[in-house]
């Protein structure tokens, strides 16, 4: 008779436990979980146009930006549904992702796709009603990220670049919906910052899954911790330089009538270093949204940066 260790018994029992839970939870609850509403923080970049476009005190612009935020939260949920349907087999081999509703069997692929279609249509109609140009950005976002769920996630470097471009589309859409120009420097900072998060997430997956990494996400065989660390170093330096140049750029100084934005650079420095600390010392970075919400120093840093920028652009620190 074969012997089994306690870890083996637990490992074999865990999928059965997941299937039992999947059967007992109502379908609407599981569908909402599949939309990952906890990832809402990724769409806060929508408000960048409101802040830097000097519309923070304009009520109609605030309402439009709020509507844009809701639209992109819905579209992000659609993308998560599509991605989870495409990755359901690989997710079942992941120690954490196997508990996702689609991977665990709580939500069928057909139900997920039907929900994605319904939410996607309503969200895109709302996007065009807010502003036609904004609707185009919403369509581009869904199309790009849907394509990512297919072939793009299997192409080395292109996979993380696609994720980063998704953030740029969010930032640009937030400016377009309230009809304000957005600095190219801010778009550079956005894509570099998003690359920093995407590369950190790849590193977390590679370290967490170790030898099983490529069975969960085949593209990980093209990366190594050393390569990712080199990429992260380049992106980190580039992000800091781009933001520093933006704050002292003559166009920025003329637009805001202040050269004090450079005083916010220490917040960016601390935020990046804190995130690297969490990735390397605390094995974090698997979910940037959870990392932000669960780490109080990082959350405080982001909040203080936003407050400092607002005070400099609109308030007494100008």
Check if the beta carbon of residue 38 is closer than 8 Å to that of residue 102.
no
Looking at 4-58, list the stretches that DSSP marks H as alpha helix, in order from N- to C-terminal side: 6-24, 27-34, 48-52
Name, in order, each residue with C-beta under 8 angstroms of 181's C-beta and a sequence gap of 6 or more. Answer: 53, 175
Mean pLDDT by 10 residues, the chain (318 residues): 39 43 71 87 92 92 96 94 86 78 88 93 97 96 90 90 94 95 88 93 80 69 90 95 93 90 95 92 79 90 94 79
Kindly report the pTM of this predicted structure: 0.84
| C-alpha closest to that of 136 among 64, 56, 68 | 68
The sign of the torsion formed by the CA atoms of 200, 202, 205, 210 equals negative
Q: Tell me the per-residue pLDDT of 218-277, one tens digit each, with 9 for 90 and over.
A: 788 888 889 999 999 999 999 999 999 999 999 999 999 898 999 999 999 999 999 999
- pLDDT computed for residue 245 by the predictor: 93
What is the fold, at CATH topology level, of the domain defined by 28-182? Tetracycline Repressor; domain 2 (1.10.357)
């Amino acid at each position: 008779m074969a012997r089994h260790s306690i870890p083996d018994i637990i490992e074999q029992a865990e999928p059965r436990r997941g299937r039992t839970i999947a059967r007992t939870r109502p379908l609407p609850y599981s569908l909402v979980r599949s939309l990952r509403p906890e990832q809402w923080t990724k769409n806060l970049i929508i408000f960048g146009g409101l802040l830097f476009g000097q519309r923070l005190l304009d009520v109609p612009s605030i309402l439009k930006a709020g509507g844009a935020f809701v639209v992109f939260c819905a579209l992000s949920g659609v993308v998560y549904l599509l991605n989870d349907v495409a990755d359901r087999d690989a997710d079942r081999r992941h120690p954490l992702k196997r508990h996702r509703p689609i991977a665990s069997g709580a939500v069928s692929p057909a139900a997920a796709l039907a929900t994605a279609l319904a939410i996607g249509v309503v969200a895109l109609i709302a996007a065009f009603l807010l502003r036609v140009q904004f609707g185009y950005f919403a369509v581009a976002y869904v199309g790009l990220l849907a394509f990512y769920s297919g072939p793009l996630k299997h192409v080395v470097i292109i996979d993380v670049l696609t994720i980063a471009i998704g953030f740029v589309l969010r930032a640009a859409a937030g400016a377009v919906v309230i009809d304000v120009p957005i600095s190219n420097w801010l778009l550079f900072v956005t894509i570099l910052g998003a690359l920093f998060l995407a590369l950190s997430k790849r590193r977390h997956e590679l370290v967490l899954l170790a030898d099983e990494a490529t069975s969960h996400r085949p593209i990980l065989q093209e990366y190594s911790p050393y390569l990712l660390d080199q990429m992260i170093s380049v992106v980190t330096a580039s992000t800091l330089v781009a933001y520093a140049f933006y704050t002292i750029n003559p166009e920025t100084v003329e637009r805001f009538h202040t050269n004090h934005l450079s005083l916010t650079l220490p917040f960016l420095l601390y935020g990046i270093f804190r995130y690297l600390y969490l990735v390397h010392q605390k094995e974090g970075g698997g979910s940037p949204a959870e990392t932000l919400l669960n780490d109080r120093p990082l959350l405080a840093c982001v909040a203080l940066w936003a407050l400092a920028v607002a005070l400099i652009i609109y308030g007494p620190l100008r």
